[in-house]
Amino acid sequence: TPQAFEFVGEFFTDVSLYILGSDINVDDMVNELFDSLFPVIYTQLMNPGLPDSALDINECLRGARRDLKVFGNFPKLIMTQVSKSLQVTRIFLQALNLGIEVINTTDHLKFSKDCGRMLTRMWYCSYCQGLMMVKPCGGYCNVVMQGCMAGVVEIDKYWREYILSLEELVNGMYRIYDMENVLLGLFSTIHDSIQYVQKNAGKLTTTETEKKIWHSKYPIFLLCIGLELQIGKLCAHSQQRQYRSAYYPEDLFIDKKVLKVAHVEHEETLSSRRRELIQKLKSFISFYSALPGYICSHSPVAENDTLCWNGQELVERYSQKAARNGMKNQFNLHELKMKGPEPVVSQIIDKLKHINQ
């Protein structure tokens, strides 16, 4: 019914809000779903001929649903499965957002003034000596870039741990920890819970139960029990669904009563997408430590370090030690490397440490 679809839609909206970080209690989500569905089941499926005046018992039905455990232990079962899967998914999304923050932060970092002077010397000071066609030595470029990016390279250790931790998390996201698997299984579980109501409705009419009802704050709920349920019609003529929608396709039923799970071979799933993402991330596990060398390897430098610019003069062969000694009065690469990372980089490192735990 439209009402039932509305309640299910609200449940999935709450699911989305939860995994995005909203402060919503999963048990409350599930309870609200069953509290909302039971009056619909009773008034529209069990007793479709009820007069409009009888709809006043909806609030009574909502409250009594929990007291009498109309759906048995199915709500608790769903709470456990949904809670575990959503919690892991929430952590996974938080980790992904942090990864994006790390990339965006380091992508927009500005070089220090010392680094700017070093880069100017490497790329342009040779012009002052008339060496217009001479390229910087490859080794010299590596030294300069390592000095410029010393703060960023500090992230490398924690970036590696982050990717490995993310891989470990993804490897554990299966069965009840796989949100897609759990949410798709809800259709079958809810179907079973409705069958449970159908099979056990008569047990609610015992003398002890009637006494309990009449002495509870929901005496009118007595109208709801002991009636013949017609749950079988609920899904028998559902609209054919396409792909992974929230409808029951007819071919998912055995004898129109038992719901079976459909497994589509080679179907793209969230699990496969997660594994694919991890494999791509692992190819960038050494991104920050390799960044200085990567920049130099994609820059116009003298790869064999012969007949190249070392920051002061044209040399036949570059020597990192000689270059450092010769540039001592101009700028000190060692001092630049020893400077701590920028505050924003330190914040990123702290966040990576926290989530890696």
Maximum separation of any 2 CA atoms in the chain, in Å: 107
133 CB-near residues (< 8 Å, 6+ apart): none
User: What's the mean pLDDT in 290-311?
Assistant: 88
- Please, what is the end-to-end C-alpha distance for the chain in angstroms? 46
User: What's the mean pLDDT in 227-247?
Assistant: 31
User: What's the mean pLDDT in 299-306?
Assistant: 83
Contact at 8 Å (CB) between 283 and 298?
no
Amino acid code (one letter) for 196: Y
Q: Tally the C-alpha atoms within 13 A of residue 262's C-alpha that lie toward its C-beta.
A: 16
Residue 25 tokens read as 């209690």
pLDDT of residue 264: 43
Q: Give the integer Cα–Cα distance in Å for 311 and 327.
A: 8
User: What's the mean pLDDT in 162-185?
Assistant: 94
Q: Give the integer Cα–Cα distance in Å for 173 and 328.
A: 54
Cα–Cα distances (Å) from 287 to 44, 158, 199, 280, 282, in that order, read 60, 12, 60, 12, 10
Amino acid code (one letter) for 272: S
Q: Give the integer Cα–Cα distance in Å for 6 and 220.
A: 26
Q: What angle do CA 148, 153, 159 make, to 5 degrees?
A: 155
Give 254's strand partners: 258
Residue 18 has pLDDT above 90, yes or no: yes
Q: Where is average pLDDT lowest: 9-13, 18-22, 243-247, 265-269?
A: 243-247
Residue 207 has pLDDT above 70, yes or no: no
pLDDT 10s digits, 318-340 = 876 544 433 333 344 544 544 56
Q: Where is average pLDDT lowest: 153-157, 301-305, 336-340?
A: 336-340
pLDDT of residue 55: 56
Q: Where is average pLDDT lowest: 2-11, 100-109, 199-208, 242-251?
A: 242-251
User: What's the mean pLDDT in 40-59?
Assistant: 68
Rg of the chain, C-alpha, whole Å: 33
Amino acid code (one letter) for 242: Q
Residue 245 has pLDDT above 50, yes or no: no
pLDDT of residue 318: 85
229 or 275: which carries more pLDDT confidence?
A: 275
Query: CA torsion 103→108→111→116, rounded to 10°?
Result: 120
344 or 203: which carries more pLDDT confidence?
A: 344
pLDDT 10s digits, 77-96 = 999 999 999 999 999 999 99
Could you identify the residue written with the tokens 């649903």?
65
User: What's the mean pLDDT in 142-166?
Assistant: 93
pLDDT of residue 50: 64
Residue percentage of the chain with pLDDT more than 70? 71
Residue 312 has pLDDT above 80, yes or no: yes
pLDDT of residue 349: 93
- pLDDT band of residue 168 (cuts 50, 70, 90) is very high
Q: How many residues does the chain have?
A: 357
- CB atoms under 10 Å from CB of 349, counted, come to 18
Contact at 8 Å (CB) between 250 and 159?
no
Average pLDDT, rounded, for the chain:
77
pLDDT of residue 53: 55
Q: What is the β-pairing status of strands 314-317 and 258-259? A: unpaired
Residue 257 has pLDDT above 90, yes or no: no
40 or 281: which carries more pLDDT confidence?
A: 281
Could you identify the residue written with the tokens 């299910």?
8
Would residue 106 be called left, alpha or beta, if left means φ above 0 and alpha means ψ between -120 and 50 degrees?
Answer: alpha
pLDDT 10s digits, 104-121 = 999 988 888 899 999 999
Residue percentage of the chain with pLDDT more than 90? 45
pLDDT of residue 248: 32
Q: Give the integer Cα–Cα distance in Å for 151 and 341.
A: 4
Instruction: Report helix angle 138-148 to 287-297, nearest 10.
Output: 140
pLDDT 10s digits, 212-232 = 443 444 333 443 433 333 222
Q: Give the integer Cα–Cα distance in Å for 70 and 201.
A: 8
Residue 49 has pLDDT above 50, yes or no: yes
Contact at 8 Å (CB) between 105 and 345?
yes
